[in-house]
Amino acid sequence: MGAGVVLDTSFLISLADRGRDHYEAARRYWRHFVEEAIPIFLPTIVVSEFCVRQPIPPEVLRCCVILPFNWDDAILSAELDFTQFTGAGEPRGSVKDDIKIIAQAAICGALCLISDDADTLLRYVEQLRTEGRIAVRPISLHEPFDRSHFDANGQRDFIDTMEPPEDEEP
């Protein structure tokens, strides 16, 4: 089993904006990663996408392992072949970047890739995983927080299904 989680740009956007639909799920996952000392990988591709609108806060960066896009990432990215996903009308550039992020997740040995992008990126992860080409599992912010993603036995925690207390600070 791999270790750690790779963040996608849409995860950071959700975490940074309380007005986003999946802000609460992003916040709960972030808290879990930090409290459980789960390695948090941040691809430089994600940094370049996120920083178009705002800088990444230093307190977030201190918790992350920065993943530069290297030779092995490039080779696996080419092998995963982004062109198989462009027929659905997806913009070529965004599909290429998604496949690069997926390749980085596979190369660094991450257990999961977390995103709010269930319609494209996470669909690509699931397809490649189902085909046996990667072992990385997708986590969607469209679903509530689920600790079982990080449990070797896939065990769910009853407490996770409960709503957080109303007075809990973000």
CATH number assigned to the domain comprising residue 22: 3.40.50.1010
Residue 168 lies in a domain: no
> What does the pLDDT read at residue 70?
95
Span 78-125, pLDDT tens digits: 999 887 777 656 666 688 899 999 999 999 999 999 999 988 889 999
Range of 36's domain?
5-155
Helical pair 121-130 and 92-107, crossing angle rounded to 10 deg = 50
Residue 54 lies in a domain: yes
Percent of the chain with pLDDT over 90: 71
Contact 119, 14 (CB under 8 A): no
Give the number of other Cβ atoms within 10 Å of residue 104's Cβ.
Answer: 28
Span 34-62, pLDDT tens digits: 999 999 999 999 999 999 999 999 999 99
Residue 162 lies in a domain: no
> What is the domain count for the chain?
1
- Identity of residue 58: P
Residue 165 lies in a domain: no
- Phi and psi at 140, nearest 5°, equal -100, 130
